[in-house]
Structure 1
Amino acid sequence: MNQLTVFEQREVLGKEFRMYGTPEQPLFLAKDVAEWIEHSNSSVMLSKVDEDEKILMLNNVYNQVSTHGGVRKEQWFLTEDGLYEVLMQSRKPIAKEFKKEVKTILKQIRMTGGYIPVSAEESDEEFLARALVVAQRTLSKKDEIIRMKDKQLEEQAPKVEAFAHFIENEESSVEFKILAANLGIGKNELLSILRNHRVLMTDEYMCYDKTLGKRVKRYGAKHNVPYAKYDRFFEVKQYPTDKINRVKVLVRPKGQEFIRKSLVKHGYIQERAA
């Protein structure tokens, strides 16, 4: 589930309700869930669910993408079990009603391919007519998704092929800018992703710059240096400067493949079609 899309969006109990991913493996944006149950802190809410009930992923829905310095940021999502756990823990009256509504919506989508709200005033014939419209719309949407995925794979194929060729012919470590270029993304975005996933360290601090007359951000010697867990994927070279020792980090061949697979897994790039 690398490229997240909204497969269901509607108003539920007066709240804007979205489900991402697929009906078989739905995901719920943690920020949305917190708003549904009027929870003031989504981070606290997430801390109370198991690790396998939440996932950090790139959100590809335009108006929901979080950015920082021009780099797309990942967001926390809850799995179906994670959502039910959060709703069960909540003391808000709306939580119980939301759980009931979500189960009803998912059950009908999984059975019919679409959710059809039932009205007591509606005749069987009217309901069946609407069900047919939903079925036709679902088939059209499925065809459109297939076309979009085929287009994405077609556009990504040259980059993936080029990277595979690059790896096969590369026997030495490379700089991040070279690796990023071969992956088809920017160097700063690549470094940001690796820091967010705690592959590389973040070493930032603020200090006063007399020349500029203001506080500015500076980077320490450990910035963008790999954690010990990932040392085997990188080559770290130290070189002295006037004040402190600086390091230059290169990516080994096996590290290049590790990073490529990680980017595919989290939806930053597409895997090559078999």
Structure 2
Amino acid sequence: MKTTAYKSISKTTLAIAVYAFALITSNMKAQDSYRIKTGVLTETTSKLTRYEVNEQNVAQFQKALTAYVRASISSKENIMAEAFYEQDKTNVLWLIERWNGKNQLENFSKKTEAKALQSLTEKLKTATKTYYVKDLEPLTKEQWRRTSKKEDNQLVIMLFVDGKKGTEQNFKDTYHVAMPQFRSEPGVVTYQLSEIEGDETQFVTYEKFRSNDAFQYHLNFPPIKPVIEYLETSIKKPPFQNGIHNLIEFAPLTRE
């Protein structure tokens, strides 16, 4: 009888274990499915690369960057990829990209377009600077792929912020409150705050507006006041306007 009872308990325990395993597996698959659909992955790799190119090589470099961006966004592992030149310094180019993980980015670096860009960078002895960033209030892939409309006069601004030590959490908390309101503005296409890896006091914002009028509306939008107050009082090297980069997109130039 003891043996029979033991077998009965064992079968029950086994059934419970199988059910629990199936439930856990189902939940994991559901989470993976959600992450794939939304494009928000815990291992997202976000990378900004600045290139300073000799004037005579700008067109050639833009061509290589355009090919890189187009190949990137055709990859299912890519979240976003865009290339710009600076409005006031056209030989300074930026590549902004996000991937589902470092391995995915490394795998893409073996592609023809990535090798061509790297080869050209080395050949022209191009000065580069790379920033890996952690996105705060991260966007989904679908949100990153939103574009301006054909009739828009797009304005893209990137702002680098170096806060005073001990004020960084205040900056993040301020943006945490304001971000949903910024993103709900009718003239905003994309708005992202990121923390630069390796220095907890350094941040960068990426702001894409449909027009200069939309940007002016943003500057007068009440929720921005606490952000401006921080930028005017709590950064290491004021004025904060020195950290602004006005960017002109040249790839992929996709529009609604």
Q: TM-score, normalised by structure 2?
A: 0.27
Answer 1 or 2: higher relative contact order, Cα 8 Å, separation at least 6: 2
